[in-house]
Structure 1
Amino acid sequence: MNGTRIILASQSPRRKQLLEWAEIPFEIMVQSTDESFPPGMPVPEVPVHIAREKGIAVRKKYETLHHDTNIIIAADTIVVLGNTIIGKPKDRADALDILARLSGNKHQVITGVVLLKGEQEIAFADTTDVWFHPLTAEQIAFYVDKYQPYDKAGAYAIQEWIGVVGIKSIQGDFYNVMGLPVSRVVSELGRLI
């Protein structure tokens, strides 16, 4: 890609897998960041704000890199039920409660993406609507105990068992629910390379 290094500012195995599927050469560099956001920030702006903080933190940590030729990809995914942002579950009880609330309902998965190259920034959010079938308490407990979804916003991964048996339909990008709207990322990368 014309000597451009692409850096994924994420440890997410799902984002790594999606970029590999898109056959984009990249390396992973991460820096821990505060994932809080200003009170009153409109919900769709939250994941973009957090993604931007992740990208900037990586850029600062690796200041010796050539930022004018490198592209940093940072992303954050949130799950929204009604107007409530549902983060990663704190423990088993929280995971059970989150999935019970999603059961039989529609929610939104919003992934914010920020691409940084030198002083250039491309930022966007992609939204997918997801409808769950009603889930039994037994199904929810089976999923949580077997798959341990504690590192996932909304306490689930669409590509796992619960997605296969529990999701009624989606409207929007399937891969966005996995954690990265990869086709749009590829398109936006084309503007920076």
Structure 2
Amino acid sequence: MIIQHMAALNAKRIVLASGSPRRREILTILGLSHEVHVSSFEEDLDKATFPSPADYVRKNASMKAAAVVAELATKVVGSGERGVGDHSAVDLVIGSDTVVVVDGRILEKPRSEAAAFDMLSTLSGREHEVLSAVALFTPSLSNATSPASVLCESTKVSFAPLSSETIAAYIRTGEPMDKAGSYGIQGIGGSFVSGIAGCYYNVMGFPLHAFTKAVVGLLDAGEL
């Protein structure tokens, strides 16, 4: 487990390549000291070119983290004279991506209220899958161009039937608009969930247990 390694980890510079408040909250709950550097990756990959949704979400997570590694490498860190190509100041960069999958269709954040209504109508009264991927880069050990570890966790979520009035009222709260699949399990959207099989935090957007297991694996292997 990761708890016995927290002192050593909190002595390292750890960067979360995401502006998601849910991911930051989960890392804070864990007690992991980190900073946020929002990735500039456009998230414009063609879903049709990937063999599976899991491959797609893993690639997104990797590209988000890789963009931050590259951006941080161009900055002068502290008072030293480090320049372009120097990754030594950053020990771990964490990239993550979450999608909802139903009938093989990948649902990300809705681009409009109409899209949110369509997604929630599709999820109503049935089971769907939430996939969250995490890519870990260790640039201080020269792993700056490819991840040291990439994982993808799956959780099955069942929704109660939702009326059109319920969906419309939920959209008016604004909560769906920055959530994959147009709902947040940790918010009002949690009232729609009738069952869950797998990691709860994965549905929030960050698979906590799988992440800690991967980090311990890197520590044990001397890769972090």
Identify the match of residue 38 of structure 2 among 30, 54, 62: 30
5+ residue gaps, structure 1: none
TM-score of the two chains, using structure 2 as the length reference: 0.81
Q: Are residue 40 (structure 1) and residue 49 (structure 2) matched?
A: yes
For residues 121 and 94 of structure 2, the distance between their equivalents in structure 1, rounded to whole angstroms, comes to: 33
Question: How big is the shift at 1:36?
Answer: 2.6
SS at match of 2:184: coil
Mapped to 1, the partners of 2:49 and 2:72 lie a distance apart of: 32
Given residue 167 of structure 1, which amino acid in structure 2 is its aligned partner?
V
Q: Which has the larger radius of gyration?
A: 2
Partner Cα separation in structure 2 for residue 102 and residue 158 of structure 1 = 13
- Summarize deviations over 1:94-123 as a string: whole Å, max 9, x none: 111110110011111000110000326100
Deviation at 1:175, TM superposition (A): 0.3
Deviations 1:28-67 (A, max 9, x none): 1123112133433021111110010011100000105663
Pick aligned residue for 1:127 from 149, 154, 161: 154
Q: TM-score, normalising length from structure 1?
A: 0.93
Give the alignment of 1:82-121 within 5 angstroms: 82-118=103-139, 119=143, 121=148
1:142-181 correspondence runs (5 A): 142-163=169-190, 165-181=191-207
Deviates more, 1:36-45 or 1:26-35: 36-45
Assess if the C-alpha contact under 8 Å between 2:151 and 2:210 holds in 1: no
RMSD: 1.6
Aligned to 2:60: 50
The answer to whether the Cα contact below 8 Å between 2:175 and 2:184 also exists between their aligned partners in 1 is: no
3-state SS, counterpart of residue 175 of structure 1: helix
User: Residues 68-118 of structure 1: CA distance to partner in whole angstroms, max 9, x if unpaired?
Assistant: 551001000011011000121111111111101100111110001100003
In structure 2, runs of 5+ residues without a counterpart are 1-7, 78-85, 219-223
Tell me the distance in 1 between the aligned counterparts of 2:206 and 2:49: 25
